[in-house]
Amino acid sequence: MPEDLNWAIGGEAGDGIDSTGKIFAQALSRAGRHVFTSKDFASRIRGGYTAYKVRTSVDRVESVVDRLDILIALTERTIDENMDELHEGSVIIYDGERTTMQDVEIPDEMIGLDVPLKGLAEDAGGAIMRNIVALGVACEVADFPIENLDSALEKRFSDKGQSIVENNCKAARLGQEYAAEEYNHEYDYDLETTDEDYVLLNGDQAIGMGAIAAGCRFYAGYPITPATDVMTYLTGRIDEFGGKVVQAEDELAAINLALGAARSGARAMTATSGPGIDLMTETFGLVATSETPLVICDVMRAGPSTGMPTKQEQGDLDMVLYGGHGEIDRFAVAPTTVAECFWKTVEAFNLAEKYQIPVFLVSDLSLAVTEQTFPPEAFDMDEVEIERGNVVDETDIDSWLDEQGRFQPHFSTADGISPRAFPGTDDGAHMTTGLEHDALGRRTEDTDVRLEQVEKRQQKVETAKQREDWECREYGDTDAETLVISWGSNEGPMREALDILSERETDVRFLSVPYLFPRPDLSDAIEQAETTIVVECNATGQLADVIEHDVLERVERINKYNGVRFKADELANEIEAVLAPQEVQA
Amino acid sequence: MSSDVRFIDFKSDKQPTWCPGCGDFGTMNGMMKGLAETGNHPDDTFVVAGIGCSGKIGTYMHSYALHGVHGRALPVGIGAKLANPELEVMVAGGDGDGYSIGAGHFVHAVRRNVDMSYVVMDNRIYGLTKGQASPTSREDFETATSPEGTSMPPVNPLALALSAGATFIAQSFSSDSQRHTEIVKEAIEHDGFGFVNVYSPCVTFNDVDTYDYFRDSIVDLGETDHDRHDKDAAREKVVEADTEYTGVIYQDENSVPWEKREGVDENMADIPEGAPEGAMDLVREFY
């Protein structure tokens, strides 16, 4: 019996797939089991194919795998779409009375459970609960105590009234009883429960929560998949802490709204995805030259252009490093796990204010849509530190005035960091501009002043390189001959791939890079390794390119760009394939 | 904050580089007087400007100011105001900045009705790029980029504002210093988005919409029995394209700024040194 269970519900958009999947994931999490979810979905409100997948284990799970054990299929296409992952003994739960499922053929080696989902739901109080009936069937198959489902149903439906909660609990039991009475297969699953407390959240929610924790009070954005959840999370919640979400008319406005709020002294943020980043690019240079602290979050999806809005890609690295005309000072941090989405957001705000610079917070679709379990201590709010940098007030503004008593927002200091005075500070009135400017923030084309200001802004970056930690997250065997480097959400599957490779006696050192600029110095690690492989979800190898540029050495590349994230087993095989020819030579 | 702020306190020591006789001198003087005479102080005022001749205003005025990206001054102003509702926020723009590249933001800023003022120096020409058609140029106005005229009707900013739900629409003439200042003051004092389109002639590139033309054509609604609270009357006035009206054309006396409706009243710059109290509840929500 495998230690993990892979479960999915699939159907058409509009079938309630997402909410059903979340209820099951919540039930597992509340039962003290680890959960890692993923979604197959299309950018449409109804129709098509969509699925919500849950991988669960008593131990931590960090990846999806190529195996599906229990599938609730609301459409025939759901079975076809998942045929590669289904295996001998997989259980398929379906309603043979549903028009879309009447002619369905379950492969002989699998177990088909034909359950009148709709009929049983009607018995419980309404056909709308048919997915819940199917969850009851799944509980029976997986030997998962159905009481755990009750608490998830309570959380989901309590605001709709107790009778709705009770009807749903009843629907689940009707499904469970039907499966127990009508079928007598031996199932290979036993979902034990534990006393552990877990929270279950996705990367967008972690970014939103991190923003509130970091003192962000102003968020402006324009809805876009897969960044919208950041905005919906903050809406209403940030108000409780004296903040506000503004839905802008477009991304051009969103970044400028956030810029305005930041000029007023608020910790401000906007989040978007590729197409929105394109529009915001117009303002990057202004944020940088006006030395305004701003967090710009890019939750990457497959491009270019509209690309594949609901598919995974890490294609915006070059964009966040180089986007915009002229030479724009910026930092870019990239969380590698859902929990890190929280911590990197906090860090991004501190970096932005300490160095008065735009900070890109680069996430990806896989982090955004994955709901993952964590012990609540993973988000210990007491650990959150706020560093605001060189903010001056009435008590110390005098030392930053020129001989004529004018505040100097771009004063050239040794470390490159100038003073900030928020509007409302007496004697602090000053302007700034996207034009090259002097220490007073006023336009100049004087060549000496230009040099001074460019060098001052570069000095800030140098200061940050020296003062801050820009370390990798390291896993695996430090002395291994094979070095794997990746960024973003690949950390999860890569960590599981390490376990798989270790079982196959392939030792690997793994460095997960959470800082894109400034970034860790990888030259020693690469020099030490026989083979370096850079893993990323794009076609051209953008991280591999910058690493080659940094260390002046060629690296091997594993690229995936079909829109689907890496799976642990797939990644292990790919790494072995890269290493194989060398082993033959040896 | 001292109460005896004079308009020159809003003036910087930088000399404007506008052409001698430019309407923007008068427009800016009215803005500075308007701010001073409504009891504002440079240290509590945030001025935002876009790009073009109008964009230079942040340099010539003394206050907190941002000279931003072309067309995006309004979102910056809204963000600044929402983050600190105590600030007096004034956005300056031109007809290109506000009605062409920034037209989308204009419509939505009007809709949002944040308590701030927006002063547009409308000279019906692109001056800084040396004389091309602007969105308010006349249909037959010949320029280097429209040798036969634009073959398009000009944008009607007042009608655009009214249809977007504006709560304060006014028009002034930069050369009529006293009236212009009065109107700007009313825009500042209005509870909501105070929009003033200012006839601000370009003496270098526009030989049609000149000081003489405006002096001869303007009808000051302040000298008529126009009821500024009557939306139907305002509608008639703004679509009468042949008459150059000045004065307050429309004001919604029941206007409540967006930030008040949404309960935004704190200075968002004030945050604790760690995570805010109650932040752990956010984690518990995910149980």
Mean pLDDT of A419-434: 98
Mean pLDDT of B127-136: 93
Residue A240 pLDDT: 97
Residue A67 pLDDT: 93
Mean pLDDT of B268-275: 98
Residue of B14, B76, B110 to mutate for A, most A C-beta atoms under 10 A = B76
Residue of A156, A255, A256 to mutate for B, most B C-beta atoms under 10 A = A256
Of A199, A264, A382, the CB nearest to B84: A264
Evaluate if residue B58 carries a pLDDT over 70: yes
At A25, phi and psi to the nearest 5? -60, -40
Asked whether the beta carbons of residue B79 and residue A384 sit closer than 8 angstroms, the reply is no
How far apart are the C-alpha atoms of B99 and B52, rounded to whole Å? 13
Looking at beta carbons, which residues of chain B come within 8 Å of A199? 283-284, 286-287
Of B42, B262, B268, the CB nearest to A218: B268
Residue A46 pLDDT: 65
How far apart are the C-alpha atoms of A129 and A166, rounded to whole Å? 11
Of B14, B64, B262, the CB nearest to A423: B64
At B76, phi and psi to the nearest 5? -60, -45
Evaluate if residue A515 carries a pLDDT over 60: yes
Burial profile A554-583: b = 16 or more Cβ within 10 angstroms, e = fewer = ebbbbbbbeebbbbbbbbbebbbebbeeee
Q: E strands, A382-528, where?
A: 431-433, 473-476, 482-487, 508-513, 515-517
Looking at beta carbons, which residues of chain B come within 8 Å of A262? 79, 83
* DSSP H or E segment with residue A502: helix A491-503
Of B83, B108, B282, the CB nearest to A261: B83
Contact A535, A566 (CB under 8 A): yes
Return the residue matching tokens 């809406």: A235
Mean pLDDT of A233-239: 97
pLDDT band at A44 (very low <50, low <70, confident <90, very high): low
Of B71, B108, B263, the CB nearest to A249: B108
Of A201, A213, A435, the CB nearest to B286: A201
Q: What's the CA angle centered on A22, arms A16 and A23, to 5 degrees?
A: 90
Asked whether the beta carbons of residue A430 and residue B287 sit closer than 8 angstroms, the reply is no
> Chain A: nearest CA to B133, how far in angstroms?
24
Evaluate if residue B190 carries a pLDDT over 90: yes
- Chain A's closest residue to B270, CA to CA, is A266
ipTM: 0.98
> Chain A: nearest CA to B128, how far in angstroms?
15
Of B59, B268, B278, the CB nearest to A217: B268
Residue A13 pLDDT: 86
β-sheet bridge partners, residue A38: A53
> Chain B: nearest CA to A401, how far in angstroms?
14
Residue A43 pLDDT: 63
Residue B2 pLDDT: 46
Residue A3 pLDDT: 85
Evaluate if residue A36 carries a pLDDT over 70: yes
Looking at beta carbons, which residues of chain B come within 8 Å of A424? 43-44, 84, 86-87, 267
Annotated domain spans of chain B: 7-284
Average pLDDT, chain A: 95
> Chain B: nearest CA to A93, how far in angstroms?
28
Residue A385 pLDDT: 98
pLDDT band at A586 (very low <50, low <70, confident <90, very high): very low
Return the residue matching tokens 């906090």: A346
- Chain B's closest residue to A339, CA to CA, is B283
Asked whether the beta carbons of residue B271 and residue A258 sit closer than 8 angstroms, the reply is no
Looking at beta carbons, which residues of chain B come within 8 Å of A252? 71-72, 75, 104-105
> Chain B: nearest CA to A26, how far in angstroms?
8
Chains A, B: CB contacts under 8 A, how many? Answer: 219
Looking at beta carbons, which residues of chain B come within 8 Å of A240? 278
- Chain A's closest residue to B61, CA to CA, is A431
Residue A100 pLDDT: 76
Residue A99 pLDDT: 82
How far apart are the C-alpha atoms of A109 and A111, rounded to whole Å? 7
Of B13, B75, B80, the CB nearest to A248: B75
pLDDT, tens digit, 9 for 90 and up, residues B74-122 = 999 999 999 999 999 999 999 999 999 999 999 999 999 999 999 999 9
Residue A103 pLDDT: 83
Asked whether the beta carbons of residue B87 and residue A424 sit closer than 8 angstroms, the reply is yes
The domain B7-284 is classified under which CATH number: 1.10.10.10, 3.40.50.300, 3.40.50.970, 3.10.20.80? Answer: 3.40.50.970
pLDDT, tens digit, 9 for 90 and up, residues B2-15 = 458 999 999 999 99
Evaluate if residue A506 carries a pLDDT over 50: yes
Evaluate if residue A2 carries a pLDDT over 70: no
Query: Read out DSSP for A329-387?
Result: --EEE---SHHHHHHHHHHHHHHHHHHTSEEEEEEEHHHHH--EEE-GGGG-GGG-B--
> Chain B: nearest CA to A126, how far in angstroms?
28
Contact A555, A533 (CB under 8 A): yes
Mean pLDDT of A523-545: 98
Distances (CA, A) of A401 to A36, A328, A398, A431, B64: 55, 27, 5, 14, 15
How far apart are the C-alpha atoms of A485 and A543, rounded to whole Å? 9
Domains, chain A: 5-196 (3.40.920.10), 201-383 (3.40.50.970), 397-467 (no CATH), 473-585 (3.40.50.920)
